[in-house]
Structure 1
């Protein structure tokens, strides 16, 4: 009785071992095929195992190609800087950053109103306007001066500038309504900096028709 059962158990174990060996052989073939596919796609397995627990992507592009692309971008930017001005159009500023003669001619004799901003910038803003040949009138936006004074100044100016970050809501509304009433140009500035005002004058000099 026992010998028969032992024979059956031994036969089952042999069958299981045979099946296991066959499965191992299949897995080894699959691993080899997977390694071949990974190698063809540029993914190299790490040293941690047969397949690598953390495969890393290998950049197929040579470093030389990347460097050439960077040089081309820099060269393209330099070429754009060397593009000559359009015929019949004078540059806005010279190499020293000062307004060109054409810009000064466009704004010469103009009078502008600047409402709001910082007191410490007023002297610099007037100097910038003067460089363009224009006169600048400043109103502090109601800090010390009466807001009603804006109505008295508007008829005598050509344009009004308002830095939106340095002006009260009431003063801004007063300027907008006054500009609409007297048909004056209203130019909002992103901030009260000197560069913001200077860029606005440059744009204005480009858009202004010959007087």
Structure 2
């Protein structure tokens, strides 16, 4: 049923209810007149008694369809409210499952330590925040711009993995990292670029058991 049809049906129902109300009011007026006649004289009252009885019987019957319609409207309203509550509860459960899955993934990197070599200085603070959201610690080396490349050898034994953005690292630093990773048996993860999203995707892959980007 489309919106236009529902609107027409509602109008028809309202008109039917209004017509029933009018008829009931007419019957009540007629009933009052008959009762008045009965009070004025026995003969008139006796003649009118059967009619009054019929009126009293018909009046409740006229109200019955209206009561049925009200009951139907209440039932439909209740069904719609219950459906809305079910959908809301399902959405909340879906969001809760998603949150739990994300927490479980991030928990896989809890307490781990990573070395990030190269990249842009302006991104380092953001990269540390991303690693922290996974419960991990991030150590940064600028790849030889200001820090000695030899420091990489000192840091490697204490980390679990090394990330290198291939577009923001010198050739010498990259060779040093690869050699040190083989020596100390550390995972080497090359990143396509030095962006935050590239680093976060790598962490997501690691949290799901894949050490490659």
- Structure 1 length normalisation: TM-score? 0.52
Partners of 1:106 and 1:208 within 8 A in 2: no
Q: For 2:173 and 2:123, how far apart are their aligned partners in 1? A: 19
The one of 163, 166, 170 equivalent to 1:164 is: 166
Change over 3 Å in CA distance of 1:100–1:115 after alignment to 2:
same
RMSD value, Cα = 2.2
Partners of 1:111 and 1:136 within 8 A in 2: yes
Superposition misfits of 4+ residues, deviation over 4 angstroms: none
What does residue 118 of structure 1 align with?
A: 120
* Unpaired runs of at least 5, structure 2: 1-93
What does residue 130 of structure 1 align with?
A: 132
* Unpaired runs of at least 5, structure 1: 1-84
Q: For 2:209 and 2:106, how far apart are their aligned partners in 1? A: 13
What does residue 192 of structure 1 align with?
A: 194
Q: Which has the higher helix share?
A: 2
Q: For 1:105 and 1:203, how far apart are their aligned partners in 2? A: 13
What does residue 153 of structure 2 align with?
A: 151
Q: For 1:137 and 1:100, how far apart are their aligned partners in 2? A: 24
- Structure 2 length normalisation: TM-score? 0.52
Q: Could you say which structure has the larger radius of gyration?
A: 2
Partners of 1:165 and 1:191 within 8 A in 2: yes
1:158-205 per-position Cα deviation (integer Å, ceiling 9, x unaligned):
000000000000000000000000000000000000000000000000
